[in-house]
Amino acid sequence: MADAIFITHFLLLLISKLCSAERDIALQDQDISLDNENSDLPQPLDHSLGSNVVSQKRFKCFVCEELECPSSNICDDAVTCWKSRVREIDGTEYVSRGCYASEEHKLFLCNKDDSQTEDRKERQARGLLNGVQYSVECCQGDFCNAGPYPVLQDYSTDVDEENYVVKLTFAILGPMIGLTILGGILFCVVAHRTRRKRPIAPRRNKLILDSEIEPSMLHFSFSSPTSSATYHPHELRATAAGDSTLKEYLDGRSLTSGSGSGLPLLVQRTLAKQVTLVECLGNCSSGGFGGEVWRGVWHGENVAVKIYFSRDEAAWARETEVYSQLLPSRHDNILGYIGSDMTSRASCTQLWLVTQYHPLGSLFDHLNRSPHPLTPHQTLNICLSIANGLLYLHTEIHGTRGKPAMAHRNLKSKNILVKTNGGCVIADFALAVTQDRLTADRVDLRQGTKRYMSPEILEQSVNVECLESFRRADIYSLGLILWEVCRRCISNGVALEYAMPYSEWLPSSNQEPSMEEVRKLVLLDQRRPPLPNRWHSDPTLAGMGKLMRECWHGKPAARLPILRVKKTLVKLAANDSRVHLPLD
């Protein structure tokens, strides 16, 4: 009986200690939460990314990475102006001013300041406690991003508070743990004495082996179709492969990946976590680079995700560089770039390139699958939009938001996507080159699609140090694409079935012909795709046939420049009463 009374008094004392400690911790947490409530919180983000804006006021903004911007560095077609300050882990700070030409960019960084986040645990979950601080202020008004840059808060105060909480916790829990251990020892002693006074009953041991666990209790959600684990192709999420190393490819440059092309780099580092893969659209082919193309959902909108594997890291890095650095602004006939990121799935590193999604697919698929032939209006709309996109690539643009001239090097119908309005966009820039790249690196002429290679590339006689040589090779490929499109154009009630270039002599299956086969056909036999006789009775198709022959001429110097190609298409459209296109 005395032992029972002693145990009861001990348990009451232990419970009172626990209640007192919990009350002290609650008061401390309340004081900290009251302090946090006094801080300014970021404004809620505008999630109307998918809304269609009929009219949007444009502003003029400063664009620079200095304390004071020169008056000449401005952008005059902005939706939002911004200024930012970033502090790296070593204390180095960067400041910049710029603008967003698209409404969608306001969703990601505007009014976000990791130094003013209410909950420190939320900052840690967003990866902002790894040493990188940033603050972005956005505004709408002419030159509203002038003035002082945002100020970053020093986290040393938070660290002191954290140390204080840790010390307080140990001060409270230390004695409690000691008392708990002591109580456990006393309980064991009392229980042992009580058990000795009772008859000993046989004990029954129950052993649970790992092999007895049902397989249904284990769940895997890997994305690789070849994995032996359960595969869920309709709802896949990528897990981060640690901190993204995308910064290594763009280190030393601005924190934004181009004023109008792609998301800010800070957002791209977590882009893969926000995208859900829904449907595999097929394998991609970038001149010999393998991979997959998926339709994904990102903030409620469909996006296209091109997945490179680690062996094609150079191609992914090059395409990321072209989109983010060399194509600074949006163009109606260039595939819209959202961002790039690295992820890890099924213990494999994958390299993602996220772009706009076009449900009609590639021009190759559209010409193949469409049950109806193309009208002259649709035909010239497709051809003119491709020419506009290629003209933008081939042309050097000077100025703050300028771009260098470049050649695509892998132009084909599978690398052109069809928009819902009937126009097209050019995609796949893994092989694109500029004059600077030709000077620095040697180009591998074997890369690319053999069927669309120009005679001088097949013969390996092209001047690999001259950009103009590769631009003329693009014109040859363009001529073959125009032939593919015009075959499906209806004239006098007749339209031919789709056929790939040189399908009369080369296999038209998915198997790519060898370079030797194409070289013999194009160089030695001097073959070109045949032009149907019925085109002579249609002025538009007859003019298109003449344009094709000038594009795929055997001598590169005799081929038309892309500007002349566009002007010829504009003239053909203007002279055809069946065509109603906005001609510029």
Q: Which residues are annotated as a binding site for ATP?
A: 306
Q: Residue 485 burial by CB count (10 A; 0-12/13-18/19+): exposed, middle or buried?
A: buried
- Cα–Cα dist 372/490, whole Å: 9
The DSSP bridge partners found for residue 403 are: 397
Among residues 416, 425, 265, the alpha carbon closest in space to that of 330 is found at: 425
Q: What string of DSSP letters covers 444-493?
A: -TT-S-GGG--HHHHTT-S-TT-HHHHHHHHHHHHHHHHHHHHHTB-BTT
Angle between helices 467-487 and 562-574 (to 10 degrees): 30
How many CB atoms neighbour CB 461 within 10 A?
11
* Structure token pair of residue 471: 């631009």
Using the structure block, give the residue that is written with the tokens 């590769």: 470
- Cα–Cα dist 482/367, whole Å: 12
Q: Give the contacts of 471 (CB within 8 A, at least 6 positions apart).
A: 394, 405, 407, 561, 562
- β-pairing, 416-418 vs 348-356, is unpaired
Among residues 260, 491, 534, 266, the alpha carbon closest in space to that of 392 is found at: 260
Residues that constitute the known binding site: 306
- Cα–Cα dist 352/305, whole Å: 6
- Cα–Cα dist 532/522, whole Å: 19
- Cα–Cα dist 368/211, whole Å: 53
Is 523 within 8 Å of 459 (Cβ atoms)? yes
How many CB atoms neighbour CB 46 within 10 A?
12
Among residues 433, 442, 197, the alpha carbon closest in space to that of 319 is found at: 433
Using the structure block, give the residue that is written with the tokens 């800070």: 266
- Cα–Cα dist 219/239, whole Å: 16
Among residues 411, 244, 396, 377, the alpha carbon closest in space to that of 326 is found at: 396
Among residues 115, 56, 112, 64, the alpha carbon closest in space to that of 80 is found at: 56
DSSP three-state, residue 307: strand
